[in-house]
Amino acid sequence: MRTLRIASTLIAGFAAVAAFAVIASTPAEAWYCSARGTTGATGWGTSPSRAYAAQIALRECAARTPRNARCYLMSCR
């Protein structure tokens, strides 16, 4: 009985540590970039890579603008 209690406590502890590691590490390692177009369209992107986050933001903005309008990167954090 005592062995079962120790085993279940260890399993619950490992599960809690694993869940915390997944939740805590994901947002802290991502870049967030935003872009705005000359027509007021916006786009944003997130990625561990700053360059890729910027590409995503510009692509999202470009998809919402007319052909001859331009999009500019506003910020990356």
Q: Where are the domains of the chain?
A: 2-76
Average pLDDT in the 45-49 region? 96
- At residue 63, φ and ψ (nearest 5 deg) are -70, -20
Give residue 49's pLDDT: 96
pTM of the prediction? Answer: 0.63
Between these two residues, 4 and 77, which has the higher pLDDT value?
A: 77
pLDDT band, residue 6 (cuts 50/70/90): low
Could you tell me what percent of the chain has a pLDDT over 90?
A: 60
Amino acid at 21: A
